[in-house]
Amino acid sequence: MATIKDIAKEANVSISTVSRVLNNDETLTVMEETRQRILNVAKELKYSSKKKLHVQNNSFNESANIGVVMWCSQEEEYEDSYFLSIRQGIEKQCIDLELEIVKTIRVRGSSNDYSLEALDGLIVVGDVDIDELDKIYKHNQNVVFVNSNSNSENYESIICDLEECSRKVMEYLFKLGHKKIGFIGGVEYKQRFNDDFGLTKVESSEEIRRKTYETMMKKKGVFSSKDIYVGDWSTLSGYQVMKKAIVKGDMPTAFFVASDPMAIGAIRALHEANIHVPRDVAIVSIDDIEMAAFVSPPLTTFKIYSEQMGRTAVNLLLERIKGREVPLKVVVPTKLIIRESCGGKT
């Protein structure tokens, strides 16, 4: 029987592109010629989308209809490749297991179709309110949350411990001798389903990276709210808020930047102002996106294993569909990647 990998090889495209075309992913941007080539190859190879779940002591169970809910829009995903990496991890694991994602919903995208009833399992990426999600998912407990703790005993969740990671960032900067440390970050939002199943954006409580920064600076007796700069998580926003810090003067000797894209923008602003990184200002961030190693100077950051988070989500969901009743909470560790932007030594 033909697989998605066979189609990708014959059509000379990526496996991910084949999967998204065959599942009518409305967020995929691809030339119509390429889309038609994929469909034609699938037809020629007599590809069948029905993949069975093999279970112990039986040949198969009913086909699993897996859905993915993405918190971010496609534009936001490509601006901050952290969420892109999670989605790719989900897709790659489904491909490896010869499963298909039959529905992808972007709650900050253009789709108005949020029907979930026909799905056997659901992976939710980002901060979507589970109480609201329950209203349209009919209390199905085959749900895995990625990058969000569901605060429910019924559902799986896979998270990076951002509080612990942020604490390590601050401890590292203190270890390097910095006392006047600034913070650059963004505002967190939660998506809520309203009565007609549309979505509204509600600002969440204190963002954990900023909260941890404030707590640790206060413990050291060196906290100043004037050294906090908040934007919208984009590279451009990181650039803009660092420009504000430069104009204000009395610059911190180091910045804890909450995401790599913002840190890259901040470094650009410092370069333009002839402020040397790390001699004048050290930068440490969180994510370790691919670009972090290629910015000048290369970015010191705490690596989050985002693709593995996506792959693990698929594995946990399949276990739930196959009958596991005990919900698991998985905390993925982080790792310090020391590069030149902080002035530290490896």
pLDDT tens for the chain, 346 residues long, are 677 788 888 888 887 788 778 776 665 677 888 888 888 888 888 786 654 444 443 333 445 778 888 878 777 787 778 888 999 999 999 888 878 788 888 876 555 556 666 778 889 998 776 665 665 566 577 889 998 766 667 788 999 989 999 999 999 999 999 999 999 999 876 555 454 444 455 445 468 999 999 999 999 999 999 999 999 889 999 999 999 999 999 999 999 999 999 999 999 999 999 999 999 999 999 999 989 999 999 999 999 999 999 999 999 999 988 888 888 999 999 999 999 999 877 5
- Final residue of a domain: which of 49, 66, 87? 49
Tell me, yes or no, whether 202 and 156 share the same domain: no
Contact call for residues 193 and 147 (beta carbons, < 8 A): no
Asked whether 315 and 94 are in contact (CB, 8 A), the reply is no
Same domain, 300 and 196: yes
User: Do residue 232 and residue 193 come from a single domain?
Assistant: yes
Task: Give yes or no: residues 189 and 155 share one domain.
Answer: no
> Residue 69 — φ and ψ, nearest 5°?
-110, 120
If asked whether residues 66 and 31 sit together in one domain, one would say no
Same domain, 263 and 290: yes
The reported pTM is 0.77
d(CA 280, CA 266) in angstroms, rounded, equals 13
Do 280 and 187 lie in one domain? The reply is: yes
Containing domain of residue 23, as a range? 1-49
Give the tokens for residue 213. Answer: 């920064």
- CB-count burial class (<10 Å; 0-12, 13-18, 19+) for 75: exposed
CA atoms of 244 and 233, how far apart (whole Å): 16
User: Locate tokens 């941890």: which residue?
Assistant: 212
Helix (H, G, I), strand (E, B) or coil at 263: helix
246 with 284, same domain? yes
Looking up residue 208, the CATH number of its domain turns out to be 3.40.50.2300
Quick one: 285 and 176 in the same domain? yes
CATH code of residue 44: 1.10.260.40
Specify whether 260 is located in the same domain as 221: yes
Domain stops at, among 49, 73, 88: 49
Phi, psi of 101 (to 5 degrees): -90, 115
**Shortest CA distance to 108 belongs to which of 57, 69, 60?**
69
Domain match, 222 and 110 both: no
Q: Examine the domain organization and report whether 124 and 138 are in the same domain.
A: yes
Total tally of structural domains belonging to the chain: 3
